[in-house]
Amino acid sequence: MTTLALAGDVMLGRLVSDIVIKNPAAQPWGDLLPVMGGADARLVNLECAITRHHQRWTRTDKVFHFRADPRVVEVLRAARIDAVALANNHVLDYNEAGLLDTLQHLDRADIAHAGAGHDLAEACRPALIDARGCRVALIAITDNEPPFAATSEHAGTRYLPIDPASLPEVERQVRAARAAGAALVVLSCHWGPNMVERPPAHFRAFARAAIDLGVDLFHGHSAHLCQGVEIHHGKPILYDTGDFLDDYAVDPWWRNDWSFLFLASFDAGRLSRLELVPVLLTLARVQRAPEPERSALCRRMRALSAEFGTDLIEVGERLRWEAGDGGDAGA
């Protein structure tokens, strides 16, 4: 059995950067390090540039720019993060120089990355990691910030519109991952607008099609909220995994400080168990959610997932789905 731990947006810039470089590297992860350490590999979306470059992106209008001091790499290492998705709307906030610095800092820390690169070929290349004997490939794409798109001549992100016309490109990347020896393929997708509780119909169709093309786990993020979970043909679609580390203002209605750590366990390439650990975000820190937040979080996620035919059961402090318990609407 191979267990992957997945979380959504990890934003280590702005106030987070200022705080974490002055404190122990493990501190931002609160009491979650033992849970994350119990998995065979850990994957997140890294939503900032790791650079000392100061020139912001000005070629198009952009309100928020996220830059982290290179010392934040120690925070990622403290959690034993194995791979990060870089296909998002912030990795070029400090232009190509900031992106190239980010790649260099990650490489020096031996943290794999996918979804951005020196050119389009590198941005398309899967990140390959060893999950205690199981070869896992991470592919990362985004429909955010088209001006950030990599080309054959310029650094940038793996930009793909969420459209059926993009699916042959997804299939090509999945085939490349399999050819590189991947037993499990994760497609990480930074898509859609903020503060949206449910994925639109064309997102659902795209994610299901990606699974049908050979993706083993769909890892969505961008909305700052956790959306429902679907099990399609025995494989998980995490439509949005929310936030995990940040300095964002908390919306009192949407509660973007509520999130989950997702633990997906596979046997012979098939999902055998999915567990969701409820978490609460505070400034530059994440921890297991206390009551009453934990119960409220679980109620919301159970209801959202039930809309996809997924029956999540409360087991202790977690939510759980297990193969054989039903809840595969796409089977």
Which range marks the domain in which residue 249 is found? Answer: 2-322
What CA–CA distance (Å, rounded) separates 79 from 87? 21
Residue 268: predicted pLDDT: 87
The total of other beta-carbon atoms located within 10 Å of residue 110's CB is: 8
The pTM is what?
A: 0.96
* 328 inside domain: no
* 284 inside domain: yes
What CA–CA distance (Å, rounded) separates 255 from 274? 23
Residue 109: predicted pLDDT: 98
Kindly provide the b/e burial profile for residues 251-273, where b requires at least 16 CB atoms within 10 angstroms of the residue's own CB.
Answer: eeeebbbbbbbbbbbbeeeebbb
Token output for 155: 């650094």
Query: Count of residues for the chain?
Result: 331
* 329 inside domain: no
Residue 269: predicted pLDDT: 86
Tell me the pairing of strands 83-85 and 41-46.
parallel
How many contiguous H segments (helices) and E segments (strands) does the chain have?
8, 20
What CA–CA distance (Å, rounded) separates 15 from 283? 8
What CA–CA distance (Å, rounded) separates 297 from 243? 14
Residue 44: predicted pLDDT: 98
* 129 inside domain: yes
Asked if residue 164 has a cis previous peptide bond (ω within 30° of 0), the answer is no
| pLDDT tens over the chain, length 331 residues | 999 999 999 999 999 999 999 999 999 999 999 999 999 999 999 999 999 999 999 999 999 999 999 999 999 999 999 999 999 999 999 999 999 999 999 999 999 999 999 999 999 999 999 999 999 999 999 999 999 999 999 999 999 999 999 999 999 999 999 999 999 999 999 999 999 999 999 999 999 999 999 999 999 999 999 999 999 999 999 999 999 999 999 999 999 999 999 999 999 889 999 999 999 999 999 999 999 999 999 999 999 999 999 999 999 999 999 998 655 655 4
* 331 inside domain: no
What CA–CA distance (Å, rounded) separates 174 from 133? 20
| Model pLDDT for residues 178-188, shown as the tens digit of each residue | 999 999 999 99
What CA–CA distance (Å, rounded) separates 104 from 50? 9
Residue 277: predicted pLDDT: 98
Domain of 190: which CATH number?
3.60.21.10
Give the three-state DSSP class for 223.
Answer: coil
What CA–CA distance (Å, rounded) separates 100 from 190? 20
* 327 inside domain: no
Tell me how many domains the chain contains. Answer: 1
* 48 inside domain: yes
DSSP code at position 28: G
* 146 inside domain: yes
Residue 326: predicted pLDDT: 54
